[in-house]
Amino acid sequence: MSSAMSDTETLGVVGGGQLGRMLAEAAAPLGVELVVLDPTPDCPASPVARDQIVGSFDDEAGVRELASRADYLTYEIELADPDLLEAVEEEYDVTVNPDPETLRMIQDKLVQKQSLRDAGVPVPEFRQVDDRSDLEAAVEEFGYPVMLKAREGGYDGRGNVPVESADDFDALDELDGPAMAEEFVEFEREVSIIGVKGADGETATFPLGENVHREEILRETVVPARTSEDVAERAREVVEDVLALLSGRGVYGIELFETCEARSASDASGGEPRADGEILVNEIAPRPHNSGHYTIEGALTSQFEQHVRAVTGRPLGATDIRSPTVTANVLGDVDETRPANPVGIESVLAHPGASFHWYGKHEVRPLRKMGHLTVVGDCEALRDSDGLAGDARETDTEELLADARELRDEVTFE
Ligand code: ADP
């Protein structure tokens, strides 16, 4: 049933985690309501969506029900099933964005890298690894260490194993499913751009963000990235090329490496050392991305509103930032799973310019993403300074990052 007779439109979303929750929050002011499909009863999106269908992301009956109730379909998790989405797109005459074909390409990290390379987009050196001899060949070609990756199903670094010597080859047996290997990129910093494709080929990009990871999990995003204008411009060009390759409307999180010559050159074996400040694409997410959470308070349009605008065929919003902004993830700082009782959120709320986003997860688990906080810069001070250029920008983000980390450390679990 379409909601054509009501004054609201319905967006069906496969997945109802924190991304679904923030999508629902952004959709409401546009008069768009969400129905989400998620296996966890009372999932994070559930309290803010109109309804939740409880079912796995590839549950046929669940996806059909979702399609029958929605005017538009999208997904907030790569575990959605592209075949099923294609089938319901025809059967229920509902548009799915981004294109399920794009999802299929992205789901397999090897196919994703091949597609990028074929389109002339710079990526780390890589090769398919089906057995030990392929891994040996990768080591021969790239030198130690190489990054061994499961082609499918990895997230937050799960499924990635650095191989530093032949002793690590057994890692191949521990990855379930097919694998690939990449040169180990020595990067100056990890950066990302949230890009968006709208109707009629319109594209937009948010400014370059800088991502600080620990244990391969994103901890903080600093915007603008503390790098040169040239690198930021180069990153934008690369991202425009990536967007041109992708089909389907919506927001894409595009993770990049800014390379570092000094450290690459110290690696005696393997291929040619890379130059400083090259941009390589690490991976694409066909959905709003953790590194774009800063846009909620920090940009004129949030990535979530932008995604809703794009998939429902509305005009895109402006992507300028309001001020330098830093976001810090609040992860489960516990050793084992237990009911989530956070303390310290008041300290964040008491800080001028800080906002908190709780994801509504009932259980805290080790390193689970439980929420995030955002600290925005002082806009008045910025207007007085020279826009966002030079030293003002540098100092501002340093202070914001220090504040964000301090506030984040206040939040713990009882
Ligand atoms: P996931 O899909 O689990 O997020 P990624 O492939 O994005 O995995 O890798 C997670 C992190 O691992 C990256 O953010 C980066 O820190 C590191 N990483 C991934 N690939 C490479 C590489 N080729 N060289 C060096 N570090 C890498």
**Average pLDDT in the 337-344 region?**
97
- Between 60-64, 99-103, 172-176, 294-298, the lowest mean confidence (pLDDT) is in 172-176
Q: How many angstroms does the Cα of residue 262 sit away from the middle of ligand 1? A: 20
Q: What is the pLDDT of residues 206-262, one digit of tens each?
A: 999 999 999 989 999 999 999 999 999 999 999 999 999 999 999 999 999 999 985
Q: How many angstroms does the Cα of residue 161 sit away from the middle of ligand 1? A: 9
Tell which wins on pLDDT, 382 or 333: 333
Do 240 and 326 lie in one domain? The reply is yes
The domain boundary residue, chosen from 58, 80, 96: 96
Do 83 and 153 lie in one domain? The reply is no
Do 294 and 397 lie in one domain? The reply is yes
Whether 387 shows a pLDDT value over 50: the answer reads no
**Average pLDDT in the 265-271 region?**
50
Residue 397 CA, chain-centre distance (Å), reads 21
Other Cβ atoms closer than 10 A to 43: 24
pLDDT at 97: 98
CB 72 within 8 A of CB 312: yes
Q: Report the CATH number that the domain containing residue 267 is assigned in CATH.
A: 3.30.470.20
Q: Report the CATH number that the domain containing residue 143 is assigned in CATH.
A: 3.30.1490.20
Domain count, the chain: 3
Which of 169, 132, 120, 172 is closest to 151 using CA atoms? Answer: 172
CB 159 within 8 A of CB 130: no
Do 168 and 249 lie in one domain? The reply is no
For 22, the domain range is 9-96
**Average pLDDT in the 183-193 region?**
97
Which of 341, 353, 357 is closest to 396 using CA atoms? Answer: 353
Q: Report the CATH number that the domain containing residue 64 is assigned in CATH.
A: 3.40.50.20
pLDDT at 246: 98
Compute the chain's Rg from CA coordinates.
21
Position 3 confidence tier, pLDDT thresholds 50, 70, 90: very low
Q: How many angstroms does the Cα of residue 31 sit away from the middle of ligand 1? A: 38
Instruction: Answer whether residue 101 is part of any domain.
Output: no
- Which residue has the least CA distance to atom 17 on ligand 1? 216
Ligand 1 atom nearest 182 alpha carbon? 23
Whether 265 shows a pLDDT value over 50: the answer reads no
Do 178 and 194 lie in one domain? The reply is no
Do 157 and 193 lie in one domain? The reply is no
Do 319 and 339 lie in one domain? The reply is yes
pLDDT at 270: 55
- Between 166-175, 263-272, 327-336, 338-347, the lowest mean confidence (pLDDT) is in 263-272
The domain boundary residue, chosen from 76, 96, 116: 96
Do 55 and 169 lie in one domain? The reply is no
Ligand 1 atom nearest 213 alpha carbon? 16
Instruction: Answer whether residue 14 is part of any domain.
Output: yes
pLDDT at 261: 81
Do 298 and 359 lie in one domain? The reply is yes
Instruction: Answer whether residue 377 is part of any domain.
Output: yes
Instruction: Answer whether residue 382 is part of any domain.
Output: yes
- Which residue has the least CA distance to atom 13 on ligand 1? 216
Do 141 and 81 lie in one domain? The reply is no
Contacts with 63 (C-beta within 8 Å, 6 or more apart), sequence order: 14, 37, 55, 81, 84, 85, 88
pLDDT at 386: 47
Q: How many angstroms does the Cα of residue 49 sit away from the middle of ligand 1? A: 32
pLDDT at 2: 47
Position 273 confidence tier, pLDDT thresholds 50, 70, 90: confident
Instruction: Answer whether residue 119 is part of any domain.
Output: no
Instruction: Answer whether residue 141 is part of any domain.
Output: yes
Tell which wins on pLDDT, 233 or 270: 233
**pTM, two decimal places:** 0.93
Separation between Cα atoms, residue 126 and residue 138, nearest integer Å: 8
Residue entry with tokens 């390759």: 245
Instruction: Answer whether residue 364 is part of any domain.
Output: yes
Instruction: Answer whether residue 42 is part of any domain.
Output: yes
Do 86 and 213 lie in one domain? The reply is no
Do 167 and 191 lie in one domain? The reply is no
Q: Which long-range contacts (CB under 8 A, 24 or more apart) does 53-61 make?
A: 57/14, 57/15, 57/81, 58/84, 60/84
